[in-house]
Every structure is written in C-alpha cells, then in structure tokens.
C-alpha cells in the first residue's frame, strides 16, 4: 500500500464513465490520485448505433473501436481502464465478475467508488453494474473471502447522474465543481465519435449542475457533476 | 462581519437543542465558533411533566425553571441562547416570528443551521419549528426584504435526530464524531432535571450512532450525532 | 372513569364516518363500547349536491337536513355524535377547535381514534381533520395543558379509507371483519339520501376489502373495512 | 359559456409562468385557446434582486416594473394576466384569495390548470400557490359555494417544472413539444430584464426536455416543457 | 410493416391478461388493432387450484385446460396468443425468453405494451414478467442485437392493475373507458371456469374504476380499467 | 397436524436470528410454540472476522464453530435449527433452496414467519434470504406444487430489525415486549463469542425499542423487539 490515494469507477458500458464521471476522474487524477475504471462491457450491442449503421460492421470491430475510444478517453482523464467484456443489452454477471471486482477492491483499496444509479427503466445494465459493484465491495470486506489478503474498510459509494435523472429515482446530493478540468472532460467525450449527439447534451448537464451548485453554496461554479450518496457521510471535523 | 464562524440552532422547546444537537454545538464552540440558539418556546406545556406534578406549580414558574435549565445547558455547551416564548402544544408561528428569525440570520450570518425533522407524528411543534426556520432563511435571502441590510447566502440546513427516527421519516445522512465533547453534552443534558428519564436514552443514542459511524468509515468513533441534509452538499475539493 | 371502553371518530363532514368507518363503529358499539363521533362540519357546501339542486334551498336547511341524517346514522350504528359546525370547502380550524377536541380526548379517554387519510388531493378538508385530531391528541397528552385534568396515554390512530385510496397515498394495513354488522352499516348509509349514488360504491368497497381480508388470513370474510396505522402497534402477547 | 377552450395558470410570482409554462401558454393561445394567468404576487421582495441593487429603489417601483414586464410577456405569449398582489417571501393566502380563485375557475371554466410543484425547499411561496390553486378548484366544484353559479367539472392539474426538480420531488410525467412556439417563449422571457441570468438556464432546460421527449417517443423534438400530473388521466380513446 | 397498429401484452400466467387488461385488448381489437398476447406460463401450478382438486389431475392436463381457456378468451377479445411454457410458482426466465420477446417486439412493432405491476408480494412471477418484458424492449432497441433486423422505437409501457393494488405499490395514472366492450371482457373471463370466484371480484373492480374515472373527468363512465405508466407521456398536441 | 402452534425463522447467517429475533423466539417457545429456524449459511465468510484472525483457521473449522454456537443459542431460546450451507458473501439461492423451504412451510405450517429487511446496502445476503423465504411461502400456497401435500394458508411475515434500520428503509410497525425472556436472549447472544462487540450494541437496541414501545402504548416495557409487517393484519375482533 503506497501513499497514493485511489478511486474506483465501475461503468456498465465503455463510455458511461466519460459522460457521467469524467470530471471527477480528471479532478482527482490531476491531484495525483490513481483512478481505475472497470468497464463491464464495451456497450457493443446497445450503445454503438452509429457504428452498426456502417456496412460490413462486425461485433469484433465494434468492440475494438469502442475499446480504443474508451482507452483514449481514460488517458485524457488520467485514469487506467480495464474491460471485463461480459456483454450488454442485456448484461448478466456471474460470481466470477463479483470475485474479480472484489480482487480489484483489495488491490486498489479505493477511498471512494463511483457507479450508476440504483434504478434505470431505460437501461437495466446500469443498475446491474451498481449492484455488482456494491456486492463486490461487501465481499472485499469479508474476512473469510481469500483470508490471506487484507480486507478493505468502508469506502463511500457515489452514484453518478443517469441520462434521465427523475425517471431513475436518482437525486443529486453532492455537487462537485469540475470547472478546472472541464476541458479534459470535453476532450474525453469528444473521443466518443459514435455518440456525437451526446456532446451537447452533457455540456448542458455540466452547465445546469454548475448553476445549481452555485445556488446551493456561496461559490461561483461554472461546471459541476452531481452525485447521489449510498451511505451516510462520516466527519470528524465541522459540519460546514 | 468578523472572521468568527457562526452557526444557528432553531429549537422548538427549551431542551431539544441539548438532546439532539448538544454535541455539534459544543464541538463547534470548542473550535471558536459562535453558536446561537433560538428556542421558540420553553416547552412549558408539553415537555415539563415532572414540574407540573409538583403542587402549586404555575405556568410562570415552569417557564422560569425551564429557561434557567436551558441557559445553564447552553452555557456548558458554549453557546448563546434566546427564547421567543411563542407557546407550545400546539405551537403557532405568525409572521413576526419569521421576520425575527430572518433578522437573526442576517445578523449572525451562519455557516450552517440546525433544526428538527420535517415530520413528527408525536410532536407537531417540531416540524413547525423547522418550517419557520427554513422560511426565515429564504426571507433573509430576499433582496426586497429590508433592502438596506445585506442578504445572506445559502447556508446548509441539517436536521437533528428526532426521538423516534423511523416514524418521523428522518434518515441519518451525516454522522458527526462528538466523542471529544461528550462530557460537555452529558453535563448539559444533566441540567435538565425535569427530564431525567431521557439521560440514559440519549446516552445510548450517542453510542449507537457512534458504532454506526465507525461502520461507515475507517475511523473508530465512540459517540456520534446524526443529521439529515436538506440541500445538496457542494464541494470544490475531492469526494473523500 | 368507568370500565366502559371508548373510541373517538373525527369526521370532516357529517357523512364521512358512515361510509368509511360505519362498520368499526357498529362493531365496537355492539360489544358495549361507547363510540363518540365529532363531525367538524355538516358537509353543507361540498357534500350536499343533491340538496342544493332543490329550489329554495338555504344553508340553514342544508345543515339541518345533514345533521338529521347524521344523527340518524349514528343512532343506527350505536354511537353518539356532535357537530362543531366550523364550515367546509374549504375548512379552517383555529385553536378553539384543537382545544375542544383535546377536552373530548380527556373526557372520553378513547382506546383508539379514527380519522381521515393524511393526504387527499380531491378534498383538503379531510387531511385537515386528521391533522387537527392528531394535534389535539398531543395537546391532551401535555401535562401543562389544563394541568388539573389528567392527561391521556397514547391511543392508536387508525386512518379510514378515502374515496380514491391510491391517489391519497393511503395503504390498508389492517382489515377489520365487519360482516356481523354489515346490515347496520348499510342501514346507516341509506339514511344519506343526498348521496344515494355512493350506496353501491361503498357496498362494493366492503366486498372487495372482505375478499382481500380473506386472502391475507385463514378466515373467510365477506365484508371488511380497511385502515392505515399512524403509530406502531405494541403487543405484550404473541405475534399471531 | 362560449366554444372557446380555456386554461388557467396560477403563478406565485410575476415571472414564474414565463420560465416554467411559457411554451404551453403560447402553444394553446396559438390554437385559439383563451389562457388566463393569475399572479399571486409580483415577486417584488424575493425575485427582483437586480432592481433592488439600483439606488433609490422603492417597493412601488419594483412592483410597477415587474407588472409591466409580466404584462408584456403575457402579451407575447397571447394570454391575459391579473395580479392579486398578496405579497411574497413569505407568501400568505387568506380565504379571500381562495374565493377569488374559485370565482375565476367558475367564470373561465378551464380545461386544465397549471401551477407549481407540491414541494420546494428553496421557495415556500411555490407550493403555497399550488395549494391555493387546488383548494380553489375544489371549492369551485362545491354545489353549496355560491349555489346560484354553476359548479365546474374536474379539470386536470399539471405541475410545471421547478428550478431544481429533484430537490422538489417533482417528476416529469408529460413532455409537451413547444418547438413551434419556442421563439415566443424566448421573446417572453427576454422581457424579464431583471433576471437575465436565467435566460440561458431555461433555454438549456427546453433543449434537455426536448432531447428527453425524443427519447421517450418516436418524434424528433427540439424544445419541450415537462409537467407532472396531479390526477389520473382519463381516456375514452386508445392508449397510444 | 403494414398500416395496422399493434399492441403487445406480456402476461405471467394464462389468465392474467383477461382480468387485468381484457378491456383494453377488446377495445383496441374492435378498432382494428392487432393485439398479441404472450403468456409466459399457463399458471399451471399456482393459479389452477380448482383443477388440482379434481382427482387424477396431471400437470399436462392442467396445462391443456388452461391453454384452451386462454385461447378461447383471447379469441373473444379479438387477440392472438402464444404460450412460452416457462413454468410458474416460481417463474424463472433465462436469456432465451428475453431474446424471444425481443424478436416479438421487432416483428410486431407495438404502439404500446401492457404488463404487470413492478412489485407484488403475493406473486413474484408478476414483477418478473414485467421485468423481462421491459428488458426485451430495451434489447429490441439495441442496434447491435441482430443488426440486420430494424430496431424498434420507444413504445410506452402500461402496467395493469394487480389484485391488491396498494400492497403492490401500484397507482392508477390512466383510466381507460371500457364500457363499450364490457360484455366481451365479461364473456372472456367467464371462460376461466377454474377461477369462478374472481368473476364478481373483477366486475366490481371495473365498476369502481369506472366511478373513479367519472370523478376524474367530465365523462360518465360505467366500466374502466386502470393503468400505471412507466415512461413519461409525450405529446405534440394540447394538454387536455 | 398437531395442536402445537408453530413459527418459522429464516436467517441468512447463523447468528442473525439471535440478535434480531431472539426475544420473539424465546417468548413463543416459552408459551409452548414450536419455533424452527433455518439458517441459509453459517456466515462463515462474512460474519466470522474474529475466527479468521486466528492462525491456521480453515473454512471447515469456521463452519463447525459457527454451527456449534448457533445450535447452542437455539437451544437456549427453545427452538430447533437447521443449516442449508449455501454459502455467504455473496449468497446465491437456486430453486432447490426455494423448494426445500416450501417443504418446510408445508410440514411446519407456521402461524407466522420472521426474516430480514427488504433492503440492506451493507449486506445483500439479507434481502436475498427474505426474498427466498417469501418465494417459498408462495410456492407452498400453490395447489400444483407437490399436489398431494396440502397447501398452506397465508401466514403473516414479519421483518426483524437490521443493523442500521434507516439505511435499510426498514420501519418498526410492531413492538413486541420481550422483557420476560430478556435473560434468555442475552444468554443466547453471549454464545456468539466471535461477535462479542455486538453484545452491548444489541442490549441497547433492546432498551431503546423498549422505551419506544412504552411511548406508543399505556404499558411500561423495558426490552422490546421491533418488526415491520409485509402484509396487512386481519382481525375479527376489536381494533385495540
């Protein structure tokens, strides 16, 4: 265990981490954190419409393209990324996925974890990814799981913003000012050439959350990302 | 406006602030904060059973006793206290109360506000106190209210723990380690000689919330107080 | 205080207690309970459409008619009834209403209380009636309110079924078999000649709730009334 | 009663109707509907920050300015507007307000009603406006209220979008395509010179809701407004 | 793709579609729609009590009987029906079921989908059926799933009424007038000779929902079915 | 079927039944009930930290130790216990588990069932155990499941208290006075030598719930256990 602080991002598809948590990733990376992203799939079936419209497209080619984009985006944000390639639309995760993630938790020993909303009627892969990320966290806390490897503590879990927040029963409980790294987030999502229609959408999300962050504080914030908490926050300092 | 940081506590009855927020008050006071408590009533009708069992008791004498206890408790915690004496069981608050509290907000300029849960089927004075505290906060933000006095920003509001949390639809979202000031909190609530049966109850609350705070962090915490947030937290730093 | 067990029903309008709680009233009355009904209004403006369609109708005549019907219905069910005549559509309740109800609580010392659902977007008088009934209950528990009169304990409050349950966020948590007194309930609501269109509606409600009660037990129940609880049930016996 | 269809908008402050429902107003007006707006206040204290920053500003001047802006905006949208001038921050509504609105309901006989979200921790005037709008609707349905004037039916109530939807527990249940009248909405809100900072914010809201409307249908929609329903929709036609 | 409009019904057991959606099916069929019903099981274990009370009954015979009844009912309603025979009490659905349903979606291209409530503590097959129906809908939208077959758009999903609505956290958001086809619905459920006790129950449901539909509109409706929406409604027309 | 009343407890791990339901078990056993406990696992991986800290510990030895403790505890409480040994952290349950539990239901014919909360973000084995317990209950009600064995009725299900109630969205709806058997519960949990840190925690839970039970009744109760109901209560007697 080094002194470097670490964070873990569990993303259902290869681009989710960019739209939804790119700012948080870049912000922590810029401060010297090691941020590691696990993409459970490439989003090859459900989130690659533009690629599939090209003639002669194959599953392998879609995966290769999506992987390259995601690696490029992770690089821009300053994070490492791995792909479990478990398939999407619909996603299914067996025990191996849980155990692999538990291993990642114990090796990385993250100070916090980012994943999807608990519900999403537009995309059932998203809540599944969060469920697996949370189950693996609990397994990594269990002394009887791989007893020779030290257990982890209780890293907080933050749920990043889904595409249609109210329909996903997701609620912003924490605004993170990402203005200082906005250009990196923008550069990262512009690598997603297959999803160009989302660039403007997520730029507006950043601006709206920035305006709301301003209204909920005495700061002036241009761009923000919003997160929901899973667990209570614990503080030994002051309340504000 | 001095450099001293400030906090505001709005308490329906004269003892609520001790049981529910005594730790937070003492903790911030110990760090040099000015903490000001507004008690809307003395709890003279509804929370002074033991006094009323004494023969020859009068309303004035109950109020005097309750005031003395509350002032003593506030002193131990290191806070100032004032009493609006608007009556209890049932409490009613007219516009004067809202405007007085708005004035307090603008003078004190608190960094945060503490008050009751949003619902309480056992005690309707509690949600009323919170409602008034919140309405006054919004009035104090309005440029057209006493336009010559500077408006306030957006101090966060934390809801302290009600007596029966689940029945009040209240949920702990933040645990504050109060171990370092536990003795002050204990000394403060022991001034409440009319409510001796609650001493043990709230000692156990402190221990249970401490154990839960430990489980939700990598700290070892003996005593904690729990709070629910009203507004999203805004941060310009890291997530953890 | 005699040995007779007692119950209190707080009804916004003069007929509510019949449709929604007539079975419970008759059932307890039949077992020797004293059941007392407080009608906050006659429903003279909002629930007397048929009367107002008669030519030459006046407010006084409507009230007189509605009172007579309600007294007749209460008599059939075996309960006493009083009318506070505070107006309806919209209803407003000042402190006098709360204090009067608190006095009723202390005199009657009910073993349980029945009132309306906590929400009702079709009729704001209903949640107001429940709010007042609950506030008065808490006042009656306060040692400093009329200190010479003994306080009450903690009678459970049951919320009877609104006209459109799901829209009122009301949920049946307790089914009461009212088959043995169904004829009394039917006779009582047939006194409501101004609301004939509801006879069939509430007969079907009784049958549906009966069928559901059967499905949730090992009893065979023809007619039932459904109630939501406000407070947890406390038992010193067994769980079933 | 003419053949012209009508709609009622109840707005807490003088500008709310523009940001939140300007599209719906213009769309129906463009189709020949009479849309009538009731502003309960001018937003003179709480929503006129820019005016109050001018030296020598008085309450009267603020009201006059805000009224002029709102009238201009209503004119652009094609609606009539009236102001009840009951004050804001905090707003209080007595029975006169309810009865006046009930009169408006009976005269206008609206096919639908628009008002604020049921909760808003940033602005308690908003839920109060909706509560009053709903209470007045129920009073207007009561045969005993002004018995000589015909009662109204059951017009649906739609809640327009608050500034921070998730914090207000508001959920979009209906997207209305307002692309065809977007220019009118934009022109209307640009009359709000005191709130210039909101122009971009609400342009982005329109685009985000448009993108979401597209995702929830087989239409291509650029700008949309979102609404929550209070009552179930009733149809005699098909489901889609 | 022809001009005929289509609808899809996903029913956990062979009779669910009759009790819960028979009116909607008949109504659309009567207007020339092609309505297709997929029964995931015959309800052979859990919903055939009366058959199992006959001596010498076998699983095959129960299935045959239930299939015959359901086919007869579908015929009366004017719909086609297929049976996946995946078993019930408890139901389990593997990927084949999801893919088969996705194929049905793409072939049928329904304008809307009907299925069960999201929760049902009395019957876990019901929420499973809805989950599978929704997952398949998302798969059918994925360009990478069977890329040579055109994807579908975003048909709305309506959840029909469970047996005990409040316990299933189901809420009516849409009332459909089914008076014109009531006789067909009645004839259809009378084919369910094994569940005769439900005939009266669902007749009363139809009447209660009809009365409620009347109260929520300016129509006079005798029989209605109620539905909950999963997704927001999108309209390019007027609000009412 | 004998005259002895019976109850079933489904516990995810070998100690859950002691902390959460030990009082209810002992209370009913003391009144002559047969109470049977099914432990789905030994909690060998996730709830045996102290054992795993011993050198040379093996999975078999942990299971043996935990089984011995649980059997001893069950004996003290007066109940029988069996272990399904399906593994923990994470737990998975296949159809065999459901069918075995269904068999237990039909043999035991319990008057009520106890299991875990419906949600628990700290421990996903807990809600899984409840889900399986509920699915098996429904299977045991199905006439087509093992048709030669009589089906069961509708025993109520009570959810015992999780470690952090508010985070699990669990709400106490029923307080059971366990003062008379407190010493047995204490003796039982003191057999859990691997989890000594919980002894004080659960003693305080018992005292807090006792104090709350007192506040919600006219009884004086020292120790209580709290339960949430899954199904509505049905009564043929009185309401209180």
CA–CA separation, B126 vs D54, rounded Å? 40
CA–CA separation, F70 vs F50, rounded Å? 16
- The pLDDT of residue B193: 83
Q: Which long-range contacts (CB under 8 A, 24 or more apart) does D133-136 make?
A: D133/D8, D133/D10, D133/D101, D133/D157, D134/C121, D134/C124, D134/D230, D135/C90, D135/C124, D135/D98, D136/D97, D136/D98, D136/D99, D136/D100, D136/D101, D136/D102, D136/D104, D136/D105
On the question of pLDDT at E1 being above 70, the answer is: no
- The pLDDT of residue F2: 66
- The pLDDT of residue B164: 98
Q: F159-169 b/e with 16+ CB inside 10 Å = b?
A: bbbbbbbbbbe
pLDDT below 70 — which residues of chain B? Answer: 1-2
Question: What are the structural domains of chain A?
Answer: 6-229 (3.40.50.10320)
**Minimal Cβ distance to C144: which of B45, B92, B121:** B45
Neighbours of chain B (3+ CB pairs under 8 A): A, C, D, F
Q: Is the alpha carbon torsion for F82, F87, F93, F94 positive or negative?
A: negative
CA–CA separation, E159 vs B112, rounded Å? 44
CA–CA separation, E88 vs E13, rounded Å? 8
Instruction: From chain C, pick out residues whose CB is under 8 angstroms from the CB of F234.
Output: 174-175, 177, 213, 216-217, 219, 221, 224
Residues paired with B52 in a beta bridge = none
Q: Which chain D residues touch E if contact means CB-CB below 8 Å?
A: 5, 7, 24, 27-28, 31, 33, 111-112, 153-156, 158, 172-177, 212-213, 215-219, 221, 224, 226-227, 229, 231-236, 238-240
Whether residue D76 contacts residue D187, with contact meaning beta carbons closer than 8 Å, is answered with yes
CA–CA separation, B31 vs E41, rounded Å? 67
Closest CA to F9 of F160, F218, F141, F144: F160
Name the strand (E) or helix (H) holding B190: none
Name the strand (E) or helix (H) holding D10: strand D6-11
Give how far E137 is from chain C: nearest CA, Å: 28
Burial tier of C189 (Cβ tally within 10 Å: 0-12, 13-18, 19+): buried
Name the percent of chain F lying above pLDDT 70. Answer: 99
- Average predicted confidence (pLDDT) for chain D: 96
How confident is the model over E20-54, as pLDDT tens digits? 999 999 999 999 999 999 999 999 999 999 999 99
* Mean pLDDT calculated for residue range C55-64: 96
Residues 6 or more apart from B145 whose CB is under 8 A from it? Answer: B102, B139, B151, D45, D46, D89
Closest CA to D137 of D179, D103, D86, D88: D103
* Mean pLDDT calculated for residue range F59-85: 97
CA nearest C139 in B: which residue?
B89
- Both tokens of C177, joined, read 């078999």
CA distances from F193 to F44, F53, F54, F126, F199 (A): 14, 13, 13, 22, 9
Residues 6 or more apart from C60 whose CB is under 8 A from it? Answer: none
How confident is the model over E104-151, as pLDDT tens digits? 999 999 999 999 999 999 999 999 999 999 999 999 999 999 999 999
Neighbours of chain D (3+ CB pairs under 8 A): A, B, C, E
In this complex, do C208 and E212 lie within 8 Å of one another by their Cβ atoms?
no
Judge C/E contact: 3 or more CB pairs < 8 A.
Answer: yes
How confident is the model over A81-101, as pLDDT tens digits? 999 999 999 999 999 999 999
How confident is the model over A194-222, as pLDDT tens digits? 788 899 999 999 999 999 999 999 999 99
Name the strand (E) or helix (H) holding C121: none
CA–CA separation, E61 vs E39, rounded Å? 17
Closest CA to D77 of D125, D20, D13: D20
Looking only at the bridges linking them, the beta strands covering A224-229 and A157-160 are antiparallel
- Both tokens of B121, joined, read 């089927």
CA–CA separation, E50 vs D104, rounded Å? 59
**Minimal Cβ distance to A207: which of D122, D204, D211:** D204
Instruction: From chain B, pick out residues whose CB is under 8 angstroms from the CB of A28.
Output: 238-239
* Mean pLDDT calculated for residue range E13-18: 96
Give how far A44 is from chain B: nearest CA, Å: 31
DSSP 8-state secondary structure symbol assigned to residue B110:
-
**Minimal Cβ distance to B211: which of F201, F208, F212:** F201
pLDDT band at E158 (very low <50, low <70, confident <90, very high): very high
Closest CA to D23 of D127, D139, D160, D149: D160
Instruction: From chain E, pick out residues whose CB is under 8 angstroms from the CB of D31.
Output: 238
Judge B/A contact: 3 or more CB pairs < 8 A.
Answer: yes
How confident is the model over C14-35, as pLDDT tens digits? 999 999 999 999 999 999 999 9
Looking only at the bridges linking them, the beta strands covering F233-235 and C174-177 are parallel
CA–CA separation, D159 vs D170, rounded Å? 8
* CB-CB neighbours of C9 under 10 Å: 28
Helix (H, G, I), strand (E, B), or coil: what is residue E53? coil
Whether residue E89 contacts residue F144, with contact meaning beta carbons closer than 8 Å, is answered with yes
Phi then psi dihedrals of residue B157, to 5 deg = -115, 125
pLDDT band at F46 (very low <50, low <70, confident <90, very high): very high
In this complex, do F174 and C234 lie within 8 Å of one another by their Cβ atoms?
yes
- Both tokens of F124, joined, read 């996903």
How confident is the model over C125-169, as pLDDT tens digits? 999 999 999 999 999 999 999 999 999 999 999 999 999 999 999
Whether residue C202 contacts residue C51, with contact meaning beta carbons closer than 8 Å, is answered with no
**Minimal Cβ distance to C138: which of B53, B57, B123:** B123
- Average predicted confidence (pLDDT) for chain A: 96
| Residue A3 or residue A96, greater confidence | A96
Residues paired with B227 in a beta bridge = B160, B174
**Minimal Cβ distance to C121: which of D95, D98, D134:** D134
**Minimal Cβ distance to E135: which of A53, A59, A90:** A90
Whether residue A119 contacts residue A169, with contact meaning beta carbons closer than 8 Å, is answered with yes
How confident is the model over F142-171, as pLDDT tens digits? 999 999 999 999 999 999 999 999 999 999
DSSP D166-178: GGGT----EEEE-
Neighbours of chain A (3+ CB pairs under 8 A): B, D, E, F
Phi then psi dihedrals of residue D115, to 5 deg = -155, -165
How confident is the model over E176-234, as pLDDT tens digits? 999 999 999 999 999 988 788 899 999 999 999 999 999 999 999 999 999 999 999 99
Closest CA to A29 of A92, A114, A86: A114
Name the strand (E) or helix (H) holding F194: none
Residues 6 or more apart from B90 whose CB is under 8 A from it? Answer: B124, B125, C95, C98, C135, C138, C139
CA–CA separation, E114 vs E130, rounded Å? 9
Instruction: From chain D, pick out residues whose CB is under 8 angstroms from the CB of C52.
Output: 143-144, 147
How confident is the model over A157-175, as pLDDT tens digits? 999 999 999 999 999 999 9
pLDDT band at D2 (very low <50, low <70, confident <90, very high): low
Give how far C114 is from chain D: nearest CA, Å: 24
Q: Is the alpha carbon torsion for E105, E106, E107, E109 positive or negative?
A: positive
Residues paired with A8 in a beta bridge = A36, A113
CA–CA separation, F40 vs F35, rounded Å? 16
In this complex, do F124 and A144 lie within 8 Å of one another by their Cβ atoms?
no
**Minimal Cβ distance to D49: which of B131, B138, B143:** B143
CA distances from F12 to E124, F124, F180 (A): 20, 10, 27
- Both tokens of E150, joined, read 């055109």
CA distances from B9 to B18, B108, B158, B164 (A): 11, 11, 10, 20
- Both tokens of F117, joined, read 């909360």
CA nearest C99 in B: which residue?
B90
* Mean pLDDT calculated for residue range F105-120: 98
Q: Which chain D residues touch B if contact means CB-CB below 8 Å?
A: 44-46, 48-49, 52-53, 57, 59, 62, 88-90, 92, 121-124, 167
Judge E/A contact: 3 or more CB pairs < 8 A.
Answer: yes
- Both tokens of C51, joined, read 């009367």
- The pLDDT of residue B2: 66
CA–CA separation, A125 vs C90, rounded Å? 49
In this complex, do B45 and C142 lie within 8 Å of one another by their Cβ atoms?
yes
Q: Is the alpha carbon torsion for F98, F100, F104, F105 positive or negative?
A: positive
In this complex, do A158 and B239 lie within 8 Å of one another by their Cβ atoms?
yes
In this complex, do A239 and B176 lie within 8 Å of one another by their Cβ atoms?
yes
On the question of pLDDT at F1 being above 60, the answer is: no
In this complex, do F144 and E89 lie within 8 Å of one another by their Cβ atoms?
yes
- The pLDDT of residue E160: 98
Instruction: From chain B, pick out residues whose CB is under 8 angstroms from the CB of D128.
Output: none
Peptide bond preceding C90: is omega within 30 degrees of 0, i.e. cis?
yes
Name the percent of chain C lying above pLDDT 70. Answer: 99
- Both tokens of E217, joined, read 């509109």
* Mean pLDDT calculated for residue range D33-60: 96
């Amino acid at each position: 265990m080094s002194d470097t602080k670490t964070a873990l991002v569990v993303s259902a598809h290869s681009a989710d981490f960019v739209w939804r948590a790119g700012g948080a990733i870049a912000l922590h990376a810029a401060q010297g954190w090691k941020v590691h992203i696990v993409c459970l799939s490439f989003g090859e079936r459900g989130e690659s419409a533009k690629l599939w419209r090209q003639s002669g497209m194959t599953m392998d080619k879609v995966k290769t393209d999506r992987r390259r984009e995601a690696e490029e985006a992770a690089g821009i944000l300053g994070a490492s990324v791995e792909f479990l390639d478990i398939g999407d639309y619909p996603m299914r995760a067996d025990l191996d996925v849980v155990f692999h993630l538990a291993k990642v938790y114990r090796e990385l020993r993250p100070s916090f974890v980012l994943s999807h909303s608990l519900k999403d009627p537009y995309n059932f892969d998203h809540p599944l990814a969060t469920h697996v990320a949370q189950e693996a966290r609990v397994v990594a806390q269990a002394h009887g799981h791989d007893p020779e490897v030290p257990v982890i503590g209780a890293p907080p879990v933050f749920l990043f913003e889904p595409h249609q927040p109210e329909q996903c029963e997701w609620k912003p409980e924490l605004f993170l000012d990402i203005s200082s790294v906005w250009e990196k987030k923008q550069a990262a999502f512009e690598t997603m050439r297959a999803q160009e229609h989302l660039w403007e959408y997520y730029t507006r999300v950043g601006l709206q959350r920035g305006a709301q962050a301003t209204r909920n504080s005495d700061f002036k914030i241009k761009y923000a990302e919003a997160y929901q908490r899973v667990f209570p926050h614990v503080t030994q300092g002051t309340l504000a």
